[in-house]
Amino acid sequence: MTNLYQGKYRIPSARWQHWDYGSDAAYFITICTKNREHYFGKIENGKMCLSHVGILADVFWHEIKNHSKNVELDSFVVMPNNIHGILILDGNNNDGNAVETTHALSLQQQQSLQPTNETIGQNRFQNQGKNTVSSIIGSYKSAISKHANRMGLIIDWQSRFYEHIIRDDADYSRIAEYIEANVSNWPTDKFFNKEDLLSLKS
pLDDT tens digits along 99-126: 333 332 222 233 333 344 444 444 444 4
Per-residue pLDDT at 193? 73
Nearest to 65 by CA among 138, 140, 141: 140
Residue 147 has pLDDT above 80, yes or no: yes
Residue 183 has pLDDT above 80, yes or no: yes
Q: How many CB atoms lie within 10 A of CB 94?
A: 9
Whether 130 contacts 101, CB under 8 Å: no
Q: What's the sign of the alpha-carbon dihedral 43, 45, 51, 56?
A: positive
Q: What pTM did the predictor assign? A: 0.73
Q: How far is CA 96 from the centre of its chain?
A: 24
Q: How many CB atoms lie within 10 A of CB 125?
A: 22
Question: DSSP character for 96?
Answer: T
